[in-house]
Structure 1
Amino acid sequence: MTAYDTNNIFAKILRGEFPCHKVYEDEHVLAFLDIMPRVPGHTLVIPKAPARNILDIKPDDYAHVARGAHKIAAAAMKAFNADGITVQQFNEPAGGQVVFHLHMHVMPRHDGVAMLPPASRKEDVKVLEENATKLIAALKAG
């Protein structure tokens, strides 16, 4: 398997070298909005530990990511008045992985509304800011 690349975009976000619309952070994970969302509120949850994907992450570090995704899913249901949640995690190119730092996609869903194709359009910054504010408020409300 290919080694972890410390210059991937998510590693740069973790180091503060690249901006993001952060919605949650603790000592183990960072959650931020996808700038090319498939649905409003599409959030990425990543470990702070360097891990290419599920094949090389330590089980405890993966558990932190799962807990972070769980927290974001509950908040997204409230923040976006969602009917459901889609959680996705891809591994290696054949599995659909594009950025090689493990990440979970958490996407609030509404009945009858299809997701956009992956990476189909970049969202307006104002919309991302509004969605981040909604998610942060829902996280604080518990």
Structure 2
Amino acid sequence: MASKSYDPNNVFARILRGEIPNKTVLETEHVLAFHDIQPLAPIHILVIPKGAYVDMDDFTANASDTEITALFRTVGDIARQVGAAEPGYRIISNCGAAARQDVPHLHIHILGGHDLGRMVKPD
């Protein structure tokens, strides 16, 4: 299955190429994790695959088992590393326009550091 159309000039692709600085939390062969520049919680870290995947749908359809495992294992590792695992954290990955995905490169938000409340209701 072919990947969705990927924009190689999106902000996360530029971060991966070193064109835009970031505050790295962890980097592995397959994944980069860094602090969000506009945090929505005391802990707000973005975890992205290094491969060119538009969203979760694209990633789960086209990434290797190694890449998929690396991404999700890194999310758990980061949550524990930053102290979010206890008392708890939220992971979010917006997929597509209706979910308000702003950057067309798969990214998972790790949010924590205080009570995040309930999930929002649709408008």
Q: What is the TM-score with the length of structure 2 in the denominator? A: 0.81
The structure carrying a bigger helix percent of its residues is 1
Q: Which residue of 2 aligns with 1:122?
A: none
Output aligned runs, 1:49-64, within 5 Å. 49-57=51-59, 58-60=63-65, 61-64=67-70
* Aligned residue among 107, 111, 118 for 2:111: 107
Please, which runs of 5 or more residues in structure 1 have no aligned partner?
Answer: 115-142
Query: Which whole-Å CA distance do the structure 1 matches of 2:54 and 2:37 have between them?
Result: 20
> Matched residue of 1:46: which SS?
strand
- How far residue 105 of structure 1 moved from its aligned partner, in angstroms, is 0.4
Moved over 4 A (4+): none
| 2:93 is aligned with 1:94 | no
CA shift in 2, pair 1:40/1:82, >3 Å: farther
Contact 1:65/1:104 (CA < 8 Å) preserved in 2?
no
Q: Is the 8 A contact 1:77 1:85 kept in 2?
A: no
State the alpha-carbon separation in 2 of the partners of residues 59 and 95 from structure 1.
25
Q: Any conservation in 2 of the 1:82–1:108 contact (CA below 8 Å)? A: no
Q: Tell me if 1:15 matches 2:17.
A: yes
User: Which moved further from structure 2: 93-102 or 55-64?
Assistant: 55-64
Q: Which AA in structure 1 matches 2:43?
A: G
What residue in structure 2 maps to residue 69 of structure 1? Answer: 75
- Residue equivalent to 2:121: none
Counting aligned pairs with the same residue, the percent is 41
Aligned length: 112
Tell me, which stretches of 5 or more residues in structure 2 are unaligned?
A: 118-123
Check the 8 A contact 2:24/2:35 in 1, yes or no: yes
CA positional deviation for 1:53: 0.7
